[in-house]
Amino acid sequence: MSDSITRRQLLLSAAAGAAAHGLLDSDDAFAEAATAAAKSVADIPAIDVHGHYGEYNRKNVRPLLKEFMSASAAAVVERNLLAGVHWTIASPIQALVPRGGADPVGGNDHAFRTVAKTAGMKQYVVVDPLKPKTYEQAKLMLKAPHCVGIKMHPEEHQYPITKHGRELFQFAAEHAKVLLFHSGCQNSEPGDYVKLADEYRDITVILAHLGNGHDDDPSHQVRAIQASKHGNLYVDTSSARNIMPGLIEWAVKEIGAGQIVFGTDTPLYYSPMQRARINHAQISYEDKKKILWENSARIFGLEKRDIAR
């Protein structure tokens, strides 16, 4: 039994004992104990490893949905502050959608200028192997302190990772230490990353979207991590699937919290909701700290900021 679970149980036990002896009103005692336990979790800082910003210009998207799923870089950071996020690592939506028609070159240029002046945000440069200029952008941008990794999306850019994965990893071996890949769809099967991650053990690979699977199997990312050899393969929580009861808890049991990092897919999803899922997960306080902060702080070399809560 972890120290964090013991602490919570002691708080609740103390509240129950006080109420039983007539020292406190029963409802108030439990409420105070629950609040104290929750506050300790709410105070954990977070890093969002999977954010975006910009206009959601998917083909045929309804205007109201476009409004809901779009946000400026500043608005993304402000919303993430509600979730206790100190750092948001983001790629521009412009570089990813519409599917098969995105503008990664223009998106990267915009992000390089915008993120540099957005406090609390770091940049992924987007690399599309079908657009060689994105490699040249990445070489330049990754030299800047605000650009901390490469984002790749085989589905939106419409290429199979089995065809282009090696060239991407070879490039990263010279220029980047962290790769974030979309995963779970037909061009981006989590298992297809394992051999490459094993071969390039000095590169940290984050598989996006815990639980995402084109065949409706939520286990693909976890099974890929279990099959990998060197501990450099991670999964982020930026999936609508994570709101299912049991998924986060099952993943922690299977691979340990040390291989899971917090992500929201903001502004496509509401980041405080994603944070609440971790806050209230049936896992230990120490595991929540790993997922929300410690793993990503180590991977990206980030420190806490002074933020207004």
Residues 111 and 172 in one domain: yes
Residues 153 and 26 in one domain: no
Is 160 part of any domain?
A: yes
CB 65 within 8 A of CB 56: yes
* Stated pTM of the model: 0.88
Give the single-character DSSP code of 152.
E
pLDDT on residue 291: 98
pLDDT on residue 306: 86
pLDDT on residue 307: 82
Residues 73 and 29 in one domain: no
CA distances to 114, 166, 167 from 110, in Å: 6, 28, 25
Is 81 part of any domain?
A: yes
Residues 56 and 8 in one domain: no
Residues 199 and 249 in one domain: yes
Is 305 part of any domain?
A: no
Is 238 part of any domain?
A: yes
pLDDT on residue 18: 45
Low-confidence ranges of the chain (pLDDT < 70): 1-39, 308-309
Residues 111 and 209 in one domain: yes
Q: Are strands 178-181 and 147-152 parallel, antiparallel or unpaired?
A: parallel
Residues 148 and 284 in one domain: yes
Residues 134 and 120 in one domain: yes
The whole domain housing 58 covers 46-300
Domain count, the chain: 2
Residues 249 and 208 in one domain: yes
pLDDT on residue 3: 45
Residues 134 and 34 in one domain: no
pLDDT on residue 17: 44
Residues 32 and 63 in one domain: no
CATH of residue 106: 3.20.20.140
Q: Distance (Å, rounded) from C-alpha 248 to C-alpha 189?
A: 20
Residue keyed to tokens 């007539």: 22
